[in-house]
Structures are given as structure tokens and as C-alpha cells.
Amino acid sequence: MSFADLGLSAGLLKAVAAMGYTEPTPIQEQSIPVTLTGRDILGCAQTGTGKTAAFILPALQLTERGKGIGILVVTPTRELAGQIDEVARAASKFTGHRVAAVYGGVGYEPQVKKLRRGVELLVATPGRLLDLHQRGDVDLSHVSILVLDEADRMLDMGFWPDVRRILALLPSKRQNMLFSATLSKEIMRIAEPMLDDPARVEVSPSATPVEAISQS
């Protein structure tokens, strides 16, 4: 299967080629066409599977420019936020969407400046996003696509109360995607009320964490 078969626009196909991707990965093949129909997604995929492009590409296609932050990606760490920001910037090279990442541990000013210039896709860690919202520096009232990336890690790191606060700031009518390396009982309990009839996409990792640990 090729990226063109997945229903992506010409601008996104051009970006994909420029990124050096020739064929979609299994998670991209499964989730891009479904996401483009507007359906919620429950994704079980680890880093390294191509999951970032799997949510970024269709989200960009579904989002108009110039209408405020339409896509919000919430992720647990600054490193992940940086990686997603990189993929999002490369993916939007020919569509003109503006991308920004906000995370803690660095000054507010450069992030605030970027937000003021206008952004359609925002990648954020929970605490910094709430801080910026409290300061009045970020408007979440136009978000129509929410991605919760590495939901299991956000739960483990104790970010879930912050995530809940963020959910309460978003319009209730939106498309939701939740990605997690594991779909534990606890993740399912959280996912269920926030996802509406989600399509479940899953790729099995080549080795589960336990198998990947060698004992000596």
C-alpha cells in the first residue's frame, strides 16, 4: 500500500516524500483512513512504530488554517513534545499549518510569542499548557482534534488530574485519539468515557518489554 492510497492530500503526500517515507507503516495504514472519516481512535502502539505521523498527517488534513488551535497533542515529556513538533513541522511544510510546542523547564516568552503569531497545531505537556492557559496565553476554544499521546505514561507520571483539567477546557464536540503502549484496565477505564465508538488500531511490538529484558 502507498501513502496515496490512504486518502492524503497532495500537499501532505509531498511532505511525506520529503520526509523520506516511501511506504506507510502498519499503524499508519490502519489509522490514517479511519481518522480521515472523523472517527475517534484508540491506538495501541509504542514509539518506533510511526504512530506520530499516523495521527499528525490526517489531523492536518482535517484542520483549516487561520482558525486558531484546531489540533492539540498532549504528551508527557518535553523530549516527546520536541519529537512530535519535529514531525508536525515536516508534515506541514507544504500545507502552511503553523505548529508550536510548549513544555516546562524553559522560559515562557518564546512560547508565548509563537502562540501570539497564530498556531493551528499545538503540542504540549500538561503542566505548561495549564500554566499558559491560566495566564491567558493560549486559547483552546477552537480545538476540534485532541490527541493524547503515551497515555499510559501520563497516567504513571501522575499527570491524569492535569489531563482532566485540560479536557474540561476543550469544546465537547471534537475528535479524540488516544495512543498508549499498553491498553491496561486502567487505561481502558479512562479511555471509555472520553472516546465515542473508537476504532481500535493496534500493532504488536516486535518484543514486549518483558521479553526484551535479558537476565544474567
- Which of 150, 162 has the CB closer to ligand AMP? 150
Judged by CB under 6 A, the chain residues 17 through 46 that form the site for ligand AMP are: 21, 23-25, 28
* Shorter beta-carbon distance to ligand AMP: residue 24 or 76: 24
CB atoms within 10 A of CB 172: 6
Per-position DSSP letters for 19-43, written without gaps between them: TT--S--HHHHHHHHHHHTT--EEE
Q: How far is the CB of 73 from ligand AMP (least distance, A)?
A: 12
When the beta carbons of 153 and 165 are compared against ligand AMP, the nearer one is 153
DSSP of 183-209: --HHHHHHHHHH-SSPEEEE---SS-T
Q: Does 48 bind ligand AMP (CB under 6 A)?
A: yes
Q: Phi and psi of 18, rounded to 5°?
A: -65, -30
Q: How far is the CB of 21 from ligand AMP (least distance, A)?
A: 4
Distance CA 99, CA 53 (A): 14
Name the residue nearer to ligand AMP (CB basis): 49 or 132. 49
- Indicate whether 49 belongs to the interface with ligand AMP (CB under 6 A): yes
Candidates 15, 33, 40, 51; binder of ligand AMP (CB under 6 A) is 51
Q: Is 9 in the site for ligand AMP (CB under 6 A)?
A: no
Cell triple for residue 215?
537476565
In the complex with ligand AMP, the residue whose CB is nearer, 62 or 83, is 83
Among 30, 52, 125, 176, binds ligand AMP (CB under 6 A): 52
Binding-residue total with ligand AMP (CB under 6 A): 12
By C-beta, is 54 or 140 nearer to ligand AMP? Answer: 54
- Is 132 an interacting residue with respect to ligand AMP (CB under 6 A)? no
- Beta strands of the chain (E only): which ranges? 41-44, 71-74, 99-102, 121-124, 145-148, 175-180, 199-202
Using rule CB under 6 A, residue 63 touches ligand AMP: no
Q: Is residue 147 a contact partner of residue 74, using CB atoms and an 8 Å limit?
A: yes
Please compute, for residue 46, the number of CA atoms within 13 A of its CA located in the half-sphere on the CB side.
Answer: 8
Cell of 20: 523520506
CB of 177 to ligand AMP, least distance (A): 13
Q: Which residues bind ligand AMP (CB under 6 A)?
A: 21, 23-25, 28, 47-53
